[in-house]
Every structure is written in structure tokens, then in C-alpha cells.
């Protein structure tokens, strides 16, 4: 393995001790990556400079993390949900200098679900639509970023989102289309946080040699980015 390839597998994680952060560190280690920088709310670890960064922390940490990311000046993957419009704007401005992948959900299945929802919405123009999401009791943001993604995939206005916080549910999202006499439900259930870590790994492999710019996980899955 050449030195440049080895270096590209050195990475950093904001929120490395959190639920998703731990899953990311475990999966990346299995795939030959080395965490050389880590930061959470109690400690900061630095062995060397990372080739890319992953933010698995919380929206309240985002601004400070972005300042650190700017100092490292390496590609950034943002897996935080609940970012404000102002924070999203800061991230997009940042992407003019550094390649960024951002998503509210790094599940491949959710990308398929978004396409299904868009297709159903086009064909069921006069039907009612509701979005429901269920997550574990510890999730801070409500509604979830994924529910907002699904809502935005629907062209109708005033779509209601119902949010439930129960036990240790990893994530369940449902879009219901209701006509006069029938209902269609499209549901995605995450059974492990590993699915999100796998999406982040795909994003890391995608972004390492990209030009500056703002990319979504849809770009990673479909590889429909502008070179």
C-alpha cells in the first residue's frame, strides 16, 4: 500500500464517543482506517492531521467544529441533524473552500424511499399526505431531519409531520397517501446504526478526491455530481 493511500485513510471524528460516532469508528477500523483526531464534549485527541473529517456530534457543537475543520482544511462529512438555516448557510459557504458531504440521513434505503415518495406524489395529486417518524427517547431534534427531507420531496403544501420518541428505536419513517377508499404507506425502518455508518464510509470514499463544493448523500449514491 503506497504512502498516499495510507494517509487518505487517516481521519478525524467530532462526536466520536456518541452513539453514531462509536459505530463509525468501529466500521472504519474494520475497513483499515485510522482515527488520528477525535473530539467530543469532554476530550480532544490528536495523533496527526486527518485527511478528512466526519461530524457526528450535535447542532450545538457545529459552529465550533466548523472552525476547527477550517483550520485542518480537509474534506468534511456532516452527519448532524437539526442544523438551523443559518448553520446550513455557513456550511454551504464553507464548501466553496472545502468539499463537503451533508445529509440528514446516510441510509441507502432512505434514498430509495425518497424516489418512491416523489413518484407516488406525482401520481396521487389529489390524495392526502402525512409523514410520521419514530426515534429513540434520546434524540434531540424533532421532527427528524429525515422527516423534513421526505416532506420536501412532496410538492403539496402544509404536510403534517407526527413525531414520536420511544425507547431505543433507531429510526422509522412513514409517508401515508390517503384517497377516498384506500391508503398507501411507504415505510423505512433502520434496524441498526451501522447502516448510517456504512453510508458515511461510502461518503468518505467519494469525497477524498473531489473538488470543492457542496454534495448530498444522493450525489454519493447516484454519483451525479458535477466534476
Residue 144 maps to which CATH number?
Answer: 3.30.360.10
Instruction: Let me know whether 128 and 32 are in one domain.
Output: no
**Is the predicted pLDDT of residue 13 greater than 70, yes or no?**
yes
**Is the predicted pLDDT of residue 225 greater than 90, yes or no?**
no
Q: Could you report the per-residue pLDDT of 167-193, keeping only the tens digit for each? A: 999 999 999 999 999 999 999 999 999
Residue 9 maps to which CATH number?
Answer: 3.40.50.720
Is 170 in contact with 193 (CB distance < 8 Å)?
yes
Instruction: Let me know whether 11 and 45 are in one domain.
Output: yes
Instruction: Let me know whether 141 and 67 are in one domain.
Output: no
Instruction: Let me know whether 164 and 205 are in one domain.
Output: no
Instruction: Let me know whether 30 and 100 are in one domain.
Output: yes
Instruction: Let me know whether 33 and 122 are in one domain.
Output: no
Is 65 in contact with 83 (CB distance < 8 Å)?
no
Give CA 186 to chain center in angstroms: 20
Listing from the earlier edge strand, what are the strands of the sheet with 52-55? 44-46, 34-39, 10-14, 52-55, 76-78, 99-102, 213-216
Between residues 48 and 41, which one has the greater pLDDT? 48
In a domain, 227, yes or no: no
Helix (H, G, I), strand (E, B) or coil at 147: helix
Instruction: Let me know whether 130 and 176 are in one domain.
Output: yes
Instruction: Let me know whether 12 and 91 are in one domain.
Output: yes
Rounded distance between C-alpha atoms, residue 226 and residue 209, angstroms: 13
Instruction: Let me know whether 81 and 149 are in one domain.
Output: no
Instruction: Let me know whether 131 and 113 are in one domain.
Output: yes
Residue 134, phi then psi, degrees to nearest 5: -125, 130
Residue-averaged pLDDT of the chain: 93
Between residues 108 and 6, which one has the greater pLDDT? 108
Other CB atoms within a 10 A radius of the CB of residue 214 amount to 18
Is 81 in contact with 19 (CB distance < 8 Å)?
no
Mean pLDDT of 96-118: 96
pLDDT of residue 8: 85
Instruction: Let me know whether 72 and 176 are in one domain.
Output: no
Active-site residues: which are they? 135, 139
**Is the predicted pLDDT of residue 5 greater than 60, yes or no?**
no
Rounded distance between C-alpha atoms, residue 151 and residue 94, angstroms: 26
Q: How many domains is the chain partitioned into structurally?
A: 2
pLDDT of residue 226: 46
Is 202 in contact with 223 (CB distance < 8 Å)?
no
Mean pLDDT of 70-94: 95
Mean pLDDT of 46-52: 96
HEC string for 150-179: HHHCCCCCCCEEEEEECCCCCCEEEEEEEE
In a domain, 131, yes or no: yes
Give the range of the structural domain holding residue 218, as residue numbers without chain letter: 3-106+193-222
Amino acid at each position: 500500500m503506497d504512502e498516499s493511500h495510507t494517509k487518505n485513510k487517516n481521519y478525524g471524528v467530532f462526536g466520536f464517543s456518541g452513539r453514531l460516532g462509536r459505530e463509525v469508528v468501529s466500521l472504519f477500523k474494520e475497513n483499515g482506517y485510522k482515527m488520528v483526531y477525535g473530539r467530543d464534549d469532554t476530550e480532544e485527541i490528536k495523533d496527526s492531521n486527518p485527511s478528512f473529517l466526519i461530524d457526528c456530534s450535535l447542532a450545538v457543537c457545529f459552529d465550533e467544529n466548523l472552525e476547527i475543520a477550517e483550520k485542518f482544511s480537509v474534506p468534511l462529512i456532516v452527519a448532524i441533524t437539526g442544523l438551523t438555516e443559518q448553520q446550513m448557510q455557513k456550511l454551504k459557504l464553507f464548501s466553496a473552500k472545502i468539499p463537503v458531504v451533508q445529509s440528514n440521513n446516510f441510509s441507502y434505503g432512505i434514498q430509495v424511499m425518497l424516489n418512491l415518495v416523489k413518484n407516488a406524489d406525482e401520481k396521487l395529486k389529489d390524495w392526502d399526505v402525512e409523514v410520521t417518524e419514530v426515534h429513540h427517547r434520546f434524540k434531540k431534534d424533532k421532527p427528524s431531519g429525515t422527516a423534513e427531507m421526505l416532506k420536501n420531496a412532496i410538492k403539496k403544501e402544509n404536510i403534517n409531520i407526527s413525531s414520536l420518541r420511544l425507547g431505543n428505536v433507531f429510526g422509522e419513517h412513514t409517508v401515508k397517501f390517503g384517497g377516498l377508499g384506500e391508503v398507501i404507506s411507504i415505510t423505512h425502518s433502520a434496524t441498526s446504526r451501522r447502516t448510517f455508518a456504512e453510508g458515511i464510509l461510502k461518503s468518505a470514499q467519494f469525497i477524498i478526491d473531489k473538488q470543492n463544493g457542496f454534495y448530498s448523500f444522493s450525489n454519493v449514491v447516484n454519483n451525479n455530481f458535477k466534476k
